[in-house]
């Protein structure tokens, strides 16, 4: 995709830096940890992505993944509340090019990545028997959508290619708080495993959560970077920091809390939204979750095929 002129690019970055560092006294401290997370895309990209979201949700409903769809919708609303309410209104870390509405672009972005991220997480946590297919669909779209958009805009919509939407945020105002949430969540899991898990079956598999939290965000960041959406107009070093830091932090910080919600929801409802009778305790739900991750052994095969809900 084409980039903004250098003067406009510099002006935008300067404005964002000023908003994130309101006083000279805080500038030096912020510079060490702050970086710009930027996305650049044609409006065509938004409409293509909306069509994919409708298709993806329809496939989930067709395969009776109703709880997954509900979780994705709630997550999209939560993403928007955080992105628009906190990052923009409270912290003033968001900016957008003059050719687009910050409210509506953030509404789409939040629902798009909130829905796909958290539906993928939910499918992973429940060890969905079609996880490979769902994962291929999500990552395949994340990677292919920018390339499809580039071809369409360059051939049929040159005005959009020449004037893309650029949206960005700085991170120094909030990444420390996110790191605190990350550490507190995983520290609580460590304390629980060390002092309160009476049996191995009641321990939380922290490695399993880390793979999900880091892996899904990394897939998202990598696909956007390779497709020219993420960090457009920035240097290689500036592009690398969001890839690494966001992957370790931004989705991963929620995994201990999301897993607790997953256990609580799974204890009372099936994936098709039917009530579980009788309901399970949290300990029973955790043990059932751990049992579903048994290795492929003769004993596991004799125990029967694990149900998908």
pLDDT, residue 133, reads 97
**What's the rounded Cα separation, in Å, for the pair 73 and 38?**
24
H-helix or E-strand containing 41? strand 36-41
Strand, coil or helix: 281 = coil
pLDDT at 232: 64
> What are 16-37's pLDDT values in tens digits?
444 334 444 444 444 445 667 7
Break the chain down into helix, strand, coil percent, rounded to 5.
70, 5, 25
| pLDDT the model gives residue 293 | 66
Query: Number of C-alpha atoms within 13 angstroms, CB side, residue 250?
Result: 23
CA-CA distance, 112 to 135, in Å (whole number)?
15
Short-list 41, 74, 32, 291, CA closest to 157: 41
Q: Which ranges of the chain have pLDDT less than 70?
A: 1-35, 172-173, 231-234, 238, 293-309
CA dist 293 → 44, 109, 129, 269, 296 (Å):
41, 33, 12, 20, 9
Distance, in Å, from the CA atom of 79 to the CA atom of 111, rounded to the nearest integer, reads 7
Sequence-distant (≥ 6) Cβ neighbours of residue 13 within 8 angstroms: 36, 168
In a 10 Å sphere around its CB, with 0-12 CB exposed, 13-18 middle and 19+ buried, how is residue 238 labelled?
Answer: middle
Facing residues of 132 across strands?
Answer: none
The CA radius of gyration of the chain, in Å to the nearest whole number, is 21
Q: What is the pLDDT of residue 20?
A: 38
Tracing tokens 């628009």 back to the chain, one arrives at 84
The pLDDT, as a whole number, for residue 198 is: 85
Alpha-carbon span 148 to 152, nearest angstrom:
6
CB of 83 within 8 A of CB of 141? no
Measured distance CA(202)–CA(258) in Å, rounded? 17
| C-alpha separations of 119 from 57, 109, 125, 175, 208 in Å | 10, 15, 10, 24, 17
CA-to-CA dists, residue 26 to 97, 140, 177, 242, angstroms: 26, 42, 16, 22
Decide: 255 and 122 in contact? Cβ < 8 Å.
Answer: no
Q: Tell me the C-alpha distance between 107 and 119, whole Å.
A: 17
**pLDDT value, residue 57:** 98
CB 146 within 8 A of CB 79: no
The pLDDT of residue 196: 92
Backbone angles phi, psi at 233, to 5 degrees: 85, -5
Cβ atoms of residues 127 and 292 within 8 Å: yes
Residue 182, both tokens: 């990350």
Q: pLDDT value at position 234?
A: 65
């Amino acid at each position: 995709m084409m980039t903004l002129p250098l003067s406009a690019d510099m002006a935008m970055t300067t404005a964002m830096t000023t908003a994130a560092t309101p006083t000279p006294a805080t500038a030096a401290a912020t510079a060490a940890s702050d970086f710009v997370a930027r996305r650049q895309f044609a409006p065509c990209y938004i409409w293509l992505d909306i069509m994919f979201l409708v298709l993806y949700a329809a496939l989930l409903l067709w395969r009776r993944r109703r709880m997954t769809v509900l979780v994705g919708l709630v997550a999209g609303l939560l993403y928007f509340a955080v992105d628009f309410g906190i990052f923009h209104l409270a912290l003033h870390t968001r900016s957008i090019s003059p050719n687009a509405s910050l409210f509506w672009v953030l509404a789409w972005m939040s629902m798009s990545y909130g829905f796909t991220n958290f539906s993928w997480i939910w499918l992973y946590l429940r060890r969905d028997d079609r996880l490979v297919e769902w994962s291929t669909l999500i990552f395949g779209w994340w990677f292919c959508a920018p390339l499809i958009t580039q071809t369409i805009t360059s051939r049929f919509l040159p005005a959009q290619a020449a004037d893309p939407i650029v949206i960005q945020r700085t991170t120094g105002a909030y990444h420390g708080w996110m790191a605190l949430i990350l550490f507190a969540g995983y520290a609580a899991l460590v304390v629980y495993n060390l002092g309160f898990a009476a049996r191995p079956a009641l321990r939380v598999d922290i490695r399993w959560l880390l793979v999900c939290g880091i892996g899904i965000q990394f897939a998202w960041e990598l696909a956007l970077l390779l497709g020219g959406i993420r960090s457009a107009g920035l240097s290689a070093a500036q592009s690398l920091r969001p890839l690494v830091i966001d992957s370790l932090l931004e989705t991963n910080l929620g995994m201990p809390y999301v897993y607790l919600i997953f256990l609580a929801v799974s204890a009372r409802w099936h994936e098709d939204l039917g009530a579980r009778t009788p309901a399970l305790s949290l300990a029973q739900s955790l043990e059932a979750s751990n049992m579903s991750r048994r290795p492929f052994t003769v004993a596991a095969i004799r125990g029967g095929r694990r149900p998908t809900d």
